[in-house]
Amino acid sequence: MSKSPLTLYLAAPRGFCAGVDRAIKIVEMALEKWGAPVYVRHEIVHNKFVVDGLREKGAVFVEELSECPDDRPVIFSAHGVPKSVPNAAQARNMVYVDATCPLVSKVHIEAQRHADAGLQMIMIGHEGHPETVGTMGQLPDGEVLLVETPQDVATVTVRDPQKLAYVTQTTLSIDDTADIVAALNARFPAIVGPHKEDICYATTNRQEAVKAMAPKCDAMLVVGAPNSSNSKRLVEVGSRAGCSYAQLVQRADDIDWRALDGIKSIGITAGASAPEVLINEVIDAFKSRYDVTEELVETAIENVEFKVPRVLRVPA
Ligand code: SF4
């Protein structure tokens, strides 16, 4: 039987960002340097495939530092950790490597700088997300107020409206965040924002590519994990940009073929923690069922790279 034609739009950029790439390298290099087991506090990046691969090589994933022995190295995930975590590791004389993405660390430094200047901090983020927990944990408990929506801005109680600053999670929806920032500026005209946008280049670029791709597609799939903030935002951005069916899939097995019945075009992208091998798996699944014509929807070219920490670098 002949296959139906299908235009497969592929978003670019998509998938791994520089922070995720660096964090995975750090675990791999730690395993080479110290041997197994190496402990990793929280999933190094939000992707089961990546985590399972590192586990097979000898990484042990835990949620809390208290689950790690004193005599094995521990790595902190790309999302960042509250200050109390490295402090506790130091107190126990542990070897630790911080794989926090440098763009998250930049937000941590910003938060501290504002606090040092006597400003109360507001964080725009998702409650309970490890990055939000890590950024809020740069300052003493209760010092950072979390807002998730413009409605939260209307009800938040601040110490002094003249002495306020805000930071954001790096993986938010650009449009939703703009609404929250507008609400903050309207209610607190003196509030100080970041010098440069906290939402990172990778989140921004992936959302822009989806905005360009979504209106062309009958359906859109985002390869990513259910706990990946930037992947979930891509699904929302796709729906809002005009694609009536936008779904998150972890890999090809998750594709709901019945829901895709009759489509003439599909858009594919991936969150910043989804490896290219899973994207290719999804593309191959379409190629096995359809007569596929691929089209790249490229809105930016990325060449960002982050160095690994000195403790793991081989001396030149
Ligand atoms: S999504 Fe952005 S902030 Fe998060 S690891 Fe990637 S580059 Fe860093």
User: pLDDT digit string (tens) for 40-75?
Assistant: 999 999 999 999 999 999 999 999 999 999 999 999
- Predicted pLDDT of residue 67: 98
Q: What is the pLDDT of residues 116-156, one digit of tens each?
A: 999 999 999 999 999 999 999 999 999 999 999 999 999 99
Q: Which atom of ligand 1 is nearest to the CA of 23?
A: 5
Under the banding of pLDDT at 50, 70 and 90, the label for residue 195 is confident
Say yes or no: CB of residue 103 within 6 Å of ligand 1.
yes
- Predicted pLDDT of residue 315: 55
Say yes or no: CB of residue 147 within 6 Å of ligand 1.
no
Percent of the chain whose pLDDT exceeds 90: 96
> Residue 98 in 3-state DSSP?
strand
Label residues 151-163 b or e (16+ Cβ within 10 Å = b): ebbeebeeeeeeb
- Predicted pLDDT of residue 98: 96
Spacing, Cα 96 to ligand 1 middle (Å): 21
Scan for tokens 């935002």, then name that residue.
Answer: 233
201-213 and 174-187 helices, crossing angle to 10°:
120
- Predicted pLDDT of residue 316: 53
Q: What is the pLDDT of residues 73-104, one digit of tens each?
A: 999 999 999 999 999 999 999 999 999 999 99
Say yes or no: CB of residue 230 within 6 Å of ligand 1.
yes
Give the CA distances from residue 312 to residues 96, 140, 315, in Å, rounded to whole numbers and listed in that order.
Answer: 11, 30, 9
Which candidate, 171, 128, 170, places its Cα nearest to that of 146? 128
Give the distance, in angstroms, between the CA of residue 180 and the centroid of all CA atoms in the same chain. Answer: 19
Ordered domains of the chain (ranges, CATH): 4-16+201-298 (3.40.1010.20), 18-101 (3.40.50.11270), 102-187 (3.40.1010.20)
Spacing, Cα 295 to ligand 1 middle (Å): 26
48-57 and 18-34 helices, crossing angle to 10°:
10
Mutate to test the pocket of ligand 1, among 50, 103, 131 (most ligand atoms within 8 A of CB): 103
Annotation says 131 is catalytic: yes
Spacing, Cα 262 to ligand 1 middle (Å): 36
Mutate to test the pocket of ligand 1, among 14, 20, 24 (most ligand atoms within 8 A of CB): 20
Mutate to test the pocket of ligand 1, among 24, 81, 170 (most ligand atoms within 8 A of CB): 170
Q: Which atom of ligand 1 is nearest to the CA of 230?
A: 1
Say yes or no: CB of residue 203 within 6 Å of ligand 1.
yes
Spacing, Cα 123 to ligand 1 middle (Å): 17
Query: Active site residue: 131, 148, 208, 298, which one?
Result: 131
